[in-house]
Amino acid sequence: MAQERGPVYQASKLSRGAAWVVLACAAGVSVAGIITSGGASAKAVAMSGLFGLVAWALLRLEVRATPDALVSCAGRRIRRFPWADVRGFEIERTGREIAVLLKGDARHRLPIVEVATRKVPAERVRDDLERYWKDHRR
């Protein structure tokens, strides 16, 4: 039996494609700097490493609702919030960010690019997440 898919929010296909290009170029510059091992190779490797890390973070940027938890990855680490720990969702004052409200008055900002760039209204994303949460909390 296939599992029900919940809402998934990640960077746009254009941004993800650009991140792959930047990641490939950063790797190429690093390899070229190491092979030539000239005086500026350490700087080239450091700068391409920095660009590579930013591109890798953009590729990992995602918020996914699964039947047992809300999964949020802001680029560095993946955080899982079981539905039992979620108290709701809130739109920040700017209208460009959504936060998940957790037990113990904790909150976590969700990295949803569509809301930050105003491509999708924050109310619609919040309503989709709340609907899914209410259907799957225990």
Reported pTM: 0.73
User: What does the pLDDT look like over 10-42, one tens digit per residue?
Assistant: 877 887 888 888 888 888 877 777 777 665 567
Q: Are strands 62-65 and 8-10 parallel, antiparallel or unpaired?
A: antiparallel
| Cβ-contact 58, 16 below 8 angstroms | yes
Q: Does residue 104 or residue 30 have the better pLDDT?
A: 104
Domain boundaries along the sequence of the chain: 8-60, 62-136
Query: Which DSSP string corresponds to 65-101?
Result: E-SSEEEEE-SS-EEEEEGGGEEEEEE-TTSS-EEEE
What CATH architecture does domain 62-136 belong to? Roll (2.30)
On whether the CB atoms of residues 115 and 94 are closer than 8 A, the answer is: no
Q: What average pLDDT score do residues 61-68 get?
A: 89
pLDDT band at 3 (very low <50, low <70, confident <90, very high): low
